[in-house]
Structure formats: C-alpha cells, structure tokens
Amino acid sequence: MAHVEPAHLVELALGNATPADADAEALRHIEECGRCGDELRVLTRLVTAARTARALDLPTPPPEHVWRHIIREVSRESGTPRGPDRTGHDENDDC
C-alpha cells in the first residue's frame, strides 16, 4: 500500500476513523510504516494539545512599548517616515 494520505492521517488523529475498509487498511499500513506512524503520532499529540488548551495557555499580545520599538526599528531600516505617535509617548522613549 502507498503511504496514507495526509488528510486521512488528520482524520485518524481527530478520532474520525470508521470501521470502513479504507481506515482498516490505513491502520494496518501505519503499524508497519515508521513514516506514517510517526506522522500520526505527531498529529495525535497536536490534536490532544489543541483540545486541552485553556485560555491561560494562549499567547498574549506584546505590550504597546514593544510594538513602538518594532515600528521604530522597521522605519529606521526601511527609511520609511514614522507616522504620528498614537500612544502619546515621546518617540524617543526607550522600551
């Protein structure tokens, strides 16, 4: 059998396997194929992590002073004139 299609591996990782012949054949292949088995394990870990994530686990946006510093550096490197400072801070403020 050829390697299991990536979309099929995703469905298996999501737990959407059915008793269909295609799933049974894919699972037999995965047992024998290290490449497909590794891919399924990675996808399964990803699905588990996504399903168990809490709001506390999600990244938060950087503070405003970080964005100001990024804009200042990008403007300096590209030669693009800076727009007005929307934050009310002096543009010479350090991060």
| pLDDT for the residue 51 | 92
Please write the tens of the pLDDT for every residue from 62-89: 899 999 999 998 888 766 655 555 555 5
Residues ≥6 apart with Cβ < 8 Å to 66: 95
pLDDT grade, residue 95 (50/70/90)? Answer: very low
Please write the tens of the pLDDT for every residue from 14-42: 998 777 778 889 999 999 999 999 999 99
| pLDDT for the residue 85 | 54
Rg of the chain over CA atoms, in angstroms? Answer: 24
